[in-house]
Structure 1
Amino acid sequence: MLNFIKRLAGRPIANRARRLAAEFLDQTNRAGDVQRDLLLSRIARNADSQFGRDHHFHEIRTPADFRKRVPIGDYNRHEPYIDRVRRGDVSALFGAGTDVLMFAMTSGTTNRPKTIPVTREALKDYREGWTIWGILAFDGHPNMIDHGLRPILQIASDWRESQTAAGIPCGAITGLTASMQNPLVRTTYCMPACASRIKDVESKYYVALRFSIARDLGTVIAANPSTILGMFRLGDRERETLIRDLHDGTIDAKWSIPDDIRKQLRFRTRIRRKATAKRLEAIVEETGRLLPRDYWPNLEFLSNWMGGTMRAYLRGYPEFFGDKPVRDVGLIASEGRMTIPIEDGTAAGVLDIRHHYFEFIPEEQGDLAEPDTVEAVDLIEGRNYFIILTTAGGLYRYNIFDLVRCVGFHGKAPVVEFLNKGAHFSSLTGEKLSEHQVVAAVEAAQRAVGIRLRSYLLLPIWGEPPSYGLLVETSDLPETQGADRFTAAVEEQLRALNVEYACKRDTLRLGPVRTIRLPNGAWGEFQKRRLARSGGTVEQYKQPHLIPDTNEINSFSVLDSVAP
């Protein structure tokens, strides 16, 4: 009876989602007009905010006016206004009547996390973007929805990790949306909403598996593929515990789950799944492992990022899932959704012209103080650009430092693919490490251990798990013992400066930083190689301290490697 009710109630929900998706796809044929109208409506709505007065919003009549009056900026330019909003002064960024529901937190370039305002309109944009993505993905896999929506496993985090001085929650927007789901829709999501508040990552993964493994799952949704692999590696490693808990109707006490959350989970936990336990035992007896390709044979597709360094993780998918298609969830960040993929197997997606106003900086102008920008409809296929955002969350001409490539158009809206986090960022598994943080960490570590490096370079190194290597010449660190203390100090500083790096380290998605010693003279050879590639002069050369390319390490002769 419950399944019948869900199917009956789900039809109008699905039909509303299809209408929304159809509107979006139709808007791509009028992308220029849609973008202009969206920008001017946002400008008019917030003209009386302090930011609007400071940038003469009342005088803006065209996108060209907007570009003249508002400079491109990063989080630091917005931070004074955001700080006032955190303290309760919503008028710093928004017009009268605007509600700020929470702040989405993400790693900043300093040791303080960024806090992005989530207004009621920004939340609506976020939810609509997921709705459009979801219905297009589900309709692309008819077995997901033909006989009622199949169960979904999606990882969410706490939207109330902390609060501002004005009492506004700070955390993950995924947790807020999970808490607001339609009750019937909520039943299709395997992970209980309260489990988003579990802080220990492995405990959260375990709970997610505990409540999903008995169901005929349709898809797994997690932005980062390392999250998906980490969860199912845990399930295989803890197979005996998982089978026993299913059989007994329990959750083992070894998992770090707060008492109030355990209490909320108890009603659903105590249902014994003896048949499921017996089926899983048979799988383990036959294969020696507990993998989703065996216990979820009807899984339709996987949902996660596919662009940039995330592609490397996908090589591990066949071991766990067999030959299942992957649908990119889109280029999405705390600041907003940028693309909506409409096909499997590609990192490219249609620019989300419905919800944000976009400009683009040509890649070759990325380091200029005042670069030219082009509008969405003027992108050139095959060219690379940095994305500039204007959102309902109070961000204006915001440089998110995401480098994308235009791979085509849907209607007049560009289809873009994420390449990397810009020349000064690296993100192997979502840590978004900045060159600023690397410099700060290494400088502090040098002071702590009493050494002075003439030069250094941090590189991402692919492995299981991936990690970072800090390259130094042997003459700067002639003794292994000194290198060991220095490496430990760098690791400590990176953890302190970047909350995402610390999280990825704690959850073993990243390995510890290693100091890699090079032969003396290595930096001179490195400079020659870079100048040969760029065609620049020695006078123009600037030694980088972070390069996001996982292949760069192969260009160096390595003497040895020291971990903390």
Structure 2
Amino acid sequence: MNARWAYIQLQTRIVKKMLADSVRSHEIQRQVMLHKVRLCADSRFGREHGLASIRNTDDFRRQIPITDFEYLRPYMDEVRNGNPGAMFGPSTRLLMFALTSGTTEKPKLIPVTDDFIKSYKRGWKIWGLKTHIDHMDLARKDYVHLAGDWQESQTDAGVWCGSISGLAAEIRPAVVRRPFIVPPQVGKISDWTSRQYMTLRLSLPSRRVGMIVTANPLTLISLANLADQHKETLLKDLRDGTVTMPNQDVDYADSLKSRVRRVSRRRCNELEEVVNRTGRLLPRDFWPELSVVGVWMGGSVGAFIPDVRKLYGDCAFRDHGLSASEGRMTIPMNDESNAGLLDYTSNYFEFIPAAEFGNDNPTILESHELEEGQSYYILLTNSGGLFRYNIHDVVQCAGYEGQTPLLTFLHKGVHCSNMTGEKLTEYQVATAVREAFVDSQRSVETVMLVPVMDSVPRYMLLIESQADQGVERLAEAIDSRLSNLNCEYENRLKTKRLLPILPRTVPSGTWERLRNEKIANRGGTQEQYKHTFLGTSDSVLDQLPAGTLASGR
């Protein structure tokens, strides 16, 4: 503990500098932009876009259009096929590609370079250090981090493709690595359920887990439910020093096998006492010293945070931050808030007011020009060859630290429905669903609101069949909440240009099947998958077996 605490104290200067320099983030952002430009100036992309001539933001915007992945794909395809010079200068080293599904049907491979991973690790270091400053007890506790596999596949040129979290976990410094009791090799277990089982098998021996970190709250719910579902098997494995995978065909690395040992009788007895006393095996009981849960708290998945709290107990929640395979965008600095400080030292950011998105000549703002309470689309420039890249994230400015905005994630920009001028957003639907379930004194469940064009349009509420009790009242509550959140929606209901929400039940397991199909078809990982509460078309209905839509009212 002494070495770890000494390291934390030594490194806190980074956090202090980040906060102190927030008063001049405008200047730093322009330096970051010029640095990204120089990295790629001597490349095919750089020559074709005149990067060597860029000296300021006016040059930057004149030389480079707003881009998406399809614009960049020809260059990225060359990089994937073994020619890094299509996008990067000779001093840049390509480490891997991050896999992500994105908004098109074609999977995306995001280049991860040496400069990219440096920025990525710096953002995580600041997040972790600030969390430790606020929770000093973490310096004597263990951590559970659910990382992915950075070596899922290889390109024809031999470059690894996978999850950037796995690479970052493998290259942690030794002093940082020690408290993480689930090794990165667990992320290489291909079967998701077996991976989670191994996570539990290796972390349950410790009652001193102080922090668990993963992006998606649904992952935490799944982990807790798996522990309870397999409690007898887990307790037997702990006593016998064995591993009984849910999928017996799954193999795992020898380095993991060497970590599997019998657990002390005292700890086994403690866990058995938990099951005898509560009838369940849940994190709130088997990790009694848990201080912090690090997880996404905003956007659509924020609706599941109340259920995570029930499973993990009375501990602080620290937002994971707005981050993606393309890079980190915000660093939350406080508990219980999904507002994060713009990561102004790692990437360069521009913003388009949400109301102007899609215009031929929208207003382009730098970070210091945002207005509190207003919503914006992010344009990202990183060290992985993404320039002025529309990442389709919509954020809201929640205030400022110095010149640096605090941003909350609202929703992906593609998740918007507008049949009659109601301009319904994913954020509004997720909020209405969460509040309607709370009003009904029910745990939030996975549902989807789907637009249905008819002589008079309406939205259809799809909910799995085991939850059909009270579904009509739930649909009415969602309608009411949406009317409070969106005056245009309220107006369309009152003027009968929209009919009230129509509830329909779908078979149990529908959402899991659709999730697995999407991941198989479009790439990405279980952790990256975020269920959308709002469908943008009724095409999802075509993916349901014929005759499965049961009447809800």
**TM-score of the two chains, using structure 2 as the length reference:** 0.78
Alignment of 1:378-393 (within 5 A): 378-393=369-384
Unpaired runs of at least 5, structure 1:
1-6, 429-441, 443-451, 470-479, 516-543, 549-558
| Letter paired with 1:297 | P
Provide the secondary structure at the position in 1 that maps to 2:259: helix
The structure 2 residue matched to 1:169, chosen from 152, 157, 160, is 160
Alignment of 1:68-467 (within 5 A): 68-145=62-139, 148=140, 150-215=141-206, 216-256=208-248, 258-261=250-253, 263-424=254-415
Question: In the TM superposition, what is the alpha-carbon distance from 1:279 to its structure 2 partner?
Answer: 0.8
Counterpart contact for 1:362–1:385, Cα < 8 Å: yes
Counterpart contact for 2:353–2:375, Cα < 8 Å: yes
For residues 454 and 248 of structure 1, do their structure 2 counterparts lie closer, same or farther at Cα, with a shift above 3 Å needed? farther
Question: In the TM superposition, what is the alpha-carbon distance from 1:210 to its structure 2 partner?
Answer: 1.1
Which 4+ runs in 1 deviate beyond 6 A? Answer: 425-428, 452-460, 462-467, 487-493
Question: In the TM superposition, what is the alpha-carbon distance from 1:271 to its structure 2 partner?
Answer: 3.2
For residues 364 and 546 of structure 1, do their structure 2 counterparts lie closer, same or farther at Cα, with a shift above 3 Å needed? farther
CA separation in 2, counterparts of 1:334 and 1:57? 24
Counterpart contact for 1:459–1:547, Cα < 8 Å: no
Aligned equivalent of 1:65: 59
Provide the secondary structure at the position in 1 that maps to 2:148: coil
CA separation in 2, counterparts of 1:423 and 1:459? 19
For residues 105 and 140 of structure 1, do their structure 2 counterparts lie closer, same or farther at Cα, with a shift above 3 Å needed? same
Aligned equivalent of 2:29: 35
Question: In the TM superposition, what is the alpha-carbon distance from 1:25 to its structure 2 partner?
Answer: 1.5
Counterpart contact for 1:198–1:204, Cα < 8 Å: yes
| Letter paired with 2:228 | D
For residues 211 and 83 of structure 1, do their structure 2 counterparts lie closer, same or farther at Cα, with a shift above 3 Å needed? same
Of 16-25 and 173-182, more deviation after overlay is shown by: 16-25
CA separation in 2, counterparts of 1:462 and 1:29? 48
Provide the secondary structure at the position in 2 that maps to 1:259: coil
Question: In the TM superposition, what is the alpha-carbon distance from 1:95 to its structure 2 partner?
Answer: 1.1
CA separation in 2, counterparts of 1:125 and 1:494? 30
CA separation in 1, counterparts of 2:138 and 2:223? 22
Once the two structures are superposed, residues 129-162 of structure 1 have per-residue CA deviations (whole angstroms, 9 ceiling, x without a partner) of 00000000111111112xx4x2111101110101
CA separation in 2, counterparts of 1:498 and 1:378? 36
Provide the secondary structure at the position in 1 that maps to 2:16: helix
Counterpart contact for 1:504–1:510, Cα < 8 Å: no
Provide the secondary structure at the position in 2 that maps to 1:317: helix
Provide the secondary structure at the position in 1 that maps to 2:258: helix
Aligned equivalent of 1:449: none
CA separation in 1, counterparts of 2:245 and 2:520? 30
For residues 72 and 111 of structure 1, do their structure 2 counterparts lie closer, same or farther at Cα, with a shift above 3 Å needed? same
The root-mean-square deviation of aligned C-alpha atoms, in Å, is: 3.6
Aligned equivalent of 2:12: 18
Unpaired runs of at least 5, structure 2:
417-424, 428-449, 469-474, 476-503, 541-547
* Alignment length (residue pairs): 473
CA separation in 2, counterparts of 1:383 and 1:359? 14
**TM-score of the two chains, using structure 1 as the length reference:** 0.77
Identity among equivalent pairs (%): 37
Question: In the TM superposition, what is the alpha-carbon distance from 1:284 to its structure 2 partner?
Answer: 0.8
Once the two structures are superposed, residues 175-194 of structure 1 have per-residue CA deviations (whole angstroms, 9 ceiling, x without a partner) of 11111122343221121221
